[in-house]
Structure 1
Amino acid sequence: MVHTVARLQRRFPLAFPKNPAPKVPLKIGIFDDLLPHAQKTRSLGPANSTASLPRPICVTS
């Protein structure tokens, strides 16, 4: 696995940085903001369904 990541880092350095920046949430509670919009688009088909999405872990300061 480590060799595969190293090869990807050499081939695609912008997509697989060696020292990536820490990931931060877009906003605490964003899932609750997005859920109503997802339910509105549910009528467009299964690709827009949130049924298979896990509920994110809430991070508090």
Structure 2
Amino acid sequence: MARKFDLISELYERTCFAVTDNPVNWQSFLKTAGRNFRLRFDEQLLIYAQRPDVTAVLEIERWNG
């Protein structure tokens, strides 16, 4: 489990640096975050790192409901 946490932490740090280092990346992140505005910042950043084109994110229970 610690290994998974380390991988997620590394992904978060790399993405945070990439987003704040480049204005184009920042704008792209804001577009993704704007479509999922109810999520916390850290969740939005990790979603952007994995799927920057995502349009809607919900818990599995809400998708199935």
Task: Flag the structure with higher helix content.
Answer: 2
Q: Radius of gyration: which is bigger?
A: 1
TM-score by length of 1: 0.30
Q: TM-score, normalised by structure 2?
A: 0.29
Higher RCO (C-alpha 8 Å, min separation 6): 2
